[in-house]
């Protein structure tokens, strides 16, 4: 590699390191669900390791630092190993952001990690037989017969993310969730394009630039999520619920009925204080149950106030809505108030059907509260 070109290469990569560092320091738990923030930070960490070994390879292979050529080639080999791990974390990050809950299954963690494990095994085997990469006697890097495996693994993760995002985009009735899906498709397509160009043109810092661009976009998406997510329960917050209800009201008609369900957790604060029971813990567990049931029925769920939750179901008949409401009541009563330790708390629910396109969110919510009081 020409010295001036190598210098430009390094400038680009150091810029990517700095940009990733800025994003990392700006990411906090307040930007979204803790697990999502943790996964995003791990993506950045894998990207840093990729860049570190890339920089060492450029410095060593061009004589900018005193390093054996074989060691420089090894750094290049190791750098490629961190891309699939970054994509593994991206897969879990994307599926959690898009509320594809199957990914949280412990068995899915093992299945989705398998391509990375296979890659590590192939790299270890390559030490003796240069199966994927190898190092020649003069220290130069050579490609083995299974070098295409690296691209196949990367694309496997990318395609899985795109398929998951497309399924959400085509299924969801929420325009915000649809836009989140589109963003993940765009950003993974940018990285894929960078990988293809990097393989075709070679010896160019195109891939780091494309990954940095995607990280900036994903960080922007996380910031938007801060506006719409309840920090305590990680559910949709009141602002997002208001937007969703307003959008649903505009669409409602006889063929597309709109149902609103409210769940209120009534707590005897004095009794809970005597028993030294944390109210927030109760709300978090109730939110988890409501979110799980809502996900199974494809219903929008949100935390409206301290102890109130609102669900929005569109296009469902009375039977399905009743099953959904009864399912929530049964699980809350059994898991929290009978089997659990919160025997001093209780649950109240109400349900209304909206048919008037002129209805305001305030009117609808007040109707729900009035029905609970009447019970």
Q: What is the CATH number of the domain that holds 306?
A: 3.30.70.270
End of a domain among 165, 198, 227?
A: 227
pLDDT average, residue stretch 7-31:
88
pLDDT at res. 337: 67
Q: Could you tell me where the DSSP H helices lie in the chain?
A: 3-26, 34-61, 69-97, 106-129, 148-171, 175-201, 206-228, 238-251, 269-274, 279-296, 318-332, 361-374
**Same domain assignment for residues 115 and 162:** yes
End of a domain among 162, 196, 227?
A: 227
**Same domain assignment for residues 219 and 265:** no
- Residue that wins the pLDDT comparison between 106 and 347: 347
**Same domain assignment for residues 144 and 247:** no
281: containing domain: 238-374
In a domain, 7, yes or no: yes
Distance CA 324, CA 309 (A): 14
pLDDT at res. 91: 94
**Same domain assignment for residues 184 and 324:** no
**Same domain assignment for residues 124 and 273:** no
Cβ atoms of 316 and 293 closer than 8 Å: no
Is pLDDT of 355 > 90? no
In a domain, 356, yes or no: yes
**Same domain assignment for residues 199 and 273:** no
Cβ atoms of 131 and 145 closer than 8 Å: yes
**Same domain assignment for residues 45 and 183:** yes
- For the chain, how many structural domains are there in total? 2
**Same domain assignment for residues 263 and 363:** yes
pLDDT tens for each residue of 330-348: 888 887 766 555 566 778 8
For the beta carbon of residue 193, count every other beta carbon within 10 angstroms: 13
In a domain, 118, yes or no: yes
pLDDT tens for each residue of 122-181: 888 888 888 888 888 887 888 888 888 888 899 899 999 999 999 988 887 777 788 889
- Residue that wins the pLDDT comparison between 212 and 234: 212
Task: Extract long-range pairs of 1-9: CB within 8 Å, 24+ residues apart.
Answer: 1/58, 1/61, 1/62, 1/203, 3/62, 5/203, 6/58, 6/62, 6/64, 9/58, 9/203, 9/204, 9/205
In a domain, 233, yes or no: no
- For residue 317, give Cα distances in angstroms to 171, 256, 259, 313: 18, 9, 9, 10
**Same domain assignment for residues 277 and 165:** no
For the beta carbon of residue 213, count every other beta carbon within 10 angstroms: 16
CATH number at residue 33: 1.20.1070
pLDDT tens for each residue of 188-228: 999 988 888 887 877 788 899 999 999 999 998 887 766 77
pLDDT at res. 312: 93
pLDDT average, residue stretch 108-112:
86
pLDDT at res. 226: 67
**Same domain assignment for residues 100 and 204:** yes
Per-chain mean pLDDT for the chain: 85
The confidence band for 73, taking pLDDT boundaries of 50, 70 and 90, is: confident
**Same domain assignment for residues 310 and 174:** no
């Amino acid at each position: 590699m020409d010295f001036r070109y190598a210098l430009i290469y390094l400038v680009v990569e150091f810029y990517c390191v700095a940009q990733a560092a800025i994003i990392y320091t700006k990411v906090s738990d307040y930007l979204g669900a803790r697990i999502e923030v943790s996964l995003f930070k791990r993506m950045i960490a894998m990207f840093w390791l990729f860049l570190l070994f890339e920089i060492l390879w450029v410095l060593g292979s061009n004589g900018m630092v005193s390093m054996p050529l074989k060691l420089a080639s090894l750094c290049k080999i190791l750098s490629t190993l961190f891309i699939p791990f970054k994509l593994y974390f991206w897969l879990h990050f994307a599926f959690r952001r898009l509320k594809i809950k199957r990914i949280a299954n412990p068995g899915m963690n093992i299945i989705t990690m398998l391509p990375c494990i296979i890659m590590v095994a192939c790299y270890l085997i390559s030490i003796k037989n240069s199966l994927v990469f190898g190092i020649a006697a003069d220290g130069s890097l050579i490609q083995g017969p299974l070098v295409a495996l690296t691209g196949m693994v990367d694309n496997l993760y990318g395609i899985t993310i795109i398929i998951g995002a497309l399924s959400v985009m085509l299924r969801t009735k929420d325009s915000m969730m649809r836009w989140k899906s589109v963003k993940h498709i765009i950003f993974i397509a940018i990285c894929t394009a960078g990988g293809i160009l990097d393989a075709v043109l070679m010896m160019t810092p195109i891939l780091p630039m494309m990954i940095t661009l995607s990280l900036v976009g994903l960080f922007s998406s996380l910031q938007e999520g801060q506006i719409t997510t309840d920090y305590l329960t990680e559910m949709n917050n009141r602002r997002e619920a208001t937007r969703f209800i307003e959008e649903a009201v505009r669409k409602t008609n006889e063929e597309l009925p709109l149902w609103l369900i409210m769940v209120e957790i009534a707590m005897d604060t004095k009794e809970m204080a005597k028993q030294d029971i944390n109210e927030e813990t109760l709300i978090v567990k109730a939110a988890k149950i409501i979110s799980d049931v809502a996900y199974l029925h494809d219903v929008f769920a949100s935390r409206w106030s301290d102890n109130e939750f609102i669900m929005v179901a569109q296009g469902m008949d009375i039977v399905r809505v009743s099953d959904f409401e009864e399912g929530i009541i049964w699980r809350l009563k059994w898991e929290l108030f009978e089997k659990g330790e919160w025997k001093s708390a209780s649950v109240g629910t109400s349900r209304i059907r909206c048919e008037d396109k002129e209805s305001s969110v305030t009117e609808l919510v007040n109707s729900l509260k009035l029905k609970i009081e009447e019970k």
